[in-house]
Amino acid sequence: MRKSEGGGFMSSLSALDAFPKVNEDFFKKTMSGGVITLVASFLMALLFFSELRLYLAPQTTHELVVDTSRGAHIDINFDVTFPKMPCSWLSLDAMDISGEMHLDVASHDIKKQRLGPGGAPVSTTEVHNVHQTQKKQKDGQNVTCASCYGAESEQYKCCNTCDDVREAYQAKGWVLNNVQNIEQCKDDGYLQMINEQQGEGCHMWGHLSVNKVAGNFHFAAGHSYQSGSMHIHDMAPFNDKVLDFTHKVHSLSFGQPYPGMKNPLDGVMQLVPQKATGGHPGQKAPTGMFQYFLKVVPTDYIDKAGIRTNTNQFSVTENFRESAEPAAGGRSLPGVFFFYDLSPIKVHIQEQRASFLHFLTNVCAIVGGIFAVSGLIDGTVYQAEQVIRKKIELGKHS
């Protein structure tokens, strides 16, 4: 009794079979069917591995949000070579619209390497702020109260070193010309170093930490100082010298890198246009101001492990401004200037891996779809062969 019930249940299951089996005697294999099977198998394999590659590769999503961060800082990483500007001639300044300034930056985060005319390092010694070094050399020496050459004030009553004279003039907002006539500057190591390094180049690299507001940083010649609202570089030692700011930006970034990040200035080489004039009237000299206008976009990058990297991307517009003799006398400041502005929009970039169920669904769709389509094609081809064969047989028979 139980056996018959079991057999009936099994019979009921057999009736639900959606894949009825056909005896092999009723199958007929054709050459066209074999060709279609090979093509279908190749397409299945091709689409399967393509889907597998997409599944294994992380999917990246981009989202734009308003940047609401406050009081943050940005690390500016740079690596620049000046093949025709000696290290002792260069100064690095950074300032922003909040009023914060870093003049003649010479911290342990900024390094300089002297380069010979051919580009090879002159020495392995890192060059720091020569201005500060020369000032330290004067410390401890017993000197009398020397003249400030008309720049005496409550702060500067005596100028015993060349640096003292410069600072007294800067406090007055004056430019110190004719340095050779200043008694304290006759043995000035700074002027000596300027003359000794003429014809050399400089490799400068490091990073700056600045406020997250619009600002600029620039490489220019001479010591810099602030007089009221004026930012001034002491160009007196370079009146008879050519200032060629041809340069190569090996790398420039705002923050940490992330996979796939591209900085548009990496590897850029800039030459001074041959038509540029400067120095003295009628004298051809490659001098001018390179200007880079950067639009910095705050970016959050989240990898597939969930690790977040706060960084920045940027776009750039370039311009060269030729130095010229202003009508008031003196020349406009040559150098390399980077002006940056912050975007109010932040970009969220996140890596995600597709779900396995999604991958499995796509694989089933590929296999089933190609199998169904190839079956339709095979049936159509077989029917067409049968019709053609019958027509041929009828033609022979008649």
Domain residues for 337? 64-128+199-352
pLDDT computed for residue 18 by the predictor:
55
What is the per-residue pLDDT for 136? 45
pLDDT tops 70 at residue 16 = no
Select the highest-mean-pLDDT range: 58-72, 121-135, 175-189, 327-341.
58-72
Is there a domain that residue 143 lies in?
A: no
Share of the chain above pLDDT 90, in %: 30
Mean pLDDT of 306-335: 78
**Is residue 84 in a domain?**
yes
Contact status, residue 331 vs residue 278, Cβ threshold 8 Å: yes
Q: What is the pLDDT of residues 264-305, one digit of tens each?
A: 999 999 988 766 544 444 444 567 899 999 999 999 999 888
Residue 104 lies in a domain: yes
* Within a domain: 232: yes
Looking at the structure of the chain, the number of domains it has is: 1
Q: Does 16 map to a domain?
A: no
Q: Are 225 and 171 in contact (CB under 8 A)?
A: no
309 CB-side CA count, 13 A: 18
d(CA 33, CA 381): 8
pTM more than 0.85 = no
Dihedral angle computed from the Cα positions of residues 58, 61, 67 and 69, in that order, rounded to the nearest 10 degrees? -20
Instruction: Record the tokens describing residue 331, joined without a space.
Output: 């020349």
Domain annotation covers residue 96? yes
The answer as to whether 157 is a domain residue is no
Tokens of 107: 């911290």
Beta strand 90-96 pairing with 215-221: antiparallel
How far apart, in whole angstroms, are the C-alpha atoms of residue 74 and residue 58? 29
- DSSP bridge pairs for 335: 220, 289
Give the span between the Cα atoms of 26 and 130, in whole angstroms. Answer: 98
pLDDT surpassing 70 at residue 138: no
Residues 328 and 305 sit within 8 Å (Cβ to Cβ) = no
Of the candidate ranges 16-30, 62-76, 203-217, the one whose mean pLDDT is the lowest: 16-30
Per the prediction, the chain carries an average pLDDT of: 80
Whether 249 is covered by a domain: the verdict is: yes
Q: Is 144 exposed, middle or buried (0-12, 13-18, 19+ CB in 10 A)?
A: exposed
CATH number at residue 219: 2.60.470
Residue written as token pair 């591209």? 262
Chain-centre distance for alpha carbon 306: 23
Instruction: Please state the rounded mean pLDDT for residues 188-195.
Output: 76
Least trusted range by pLDDT, from 162-176, 365-379, 382-396? 162-176
- The residues with which 10 forms a beta bridge, in sequence order, are none
Tokens standing for residue 374? 């190839």
pLDDT tens column, 304-319: 888 899 999 999 999 9
Instruction: With a cut of 50, say whether residue 323 has pLDDT above it.
Output: yes
Phi, psi (rounded to 5 degrees) for 253 = -145, 155
With cut-offs at 50, 70 and 90, classify the pLDDT of residue 396.
Answer: low
The highest-confidence range among 117-126, 209-218, 377-386, by mean pLDDT, is 209-218
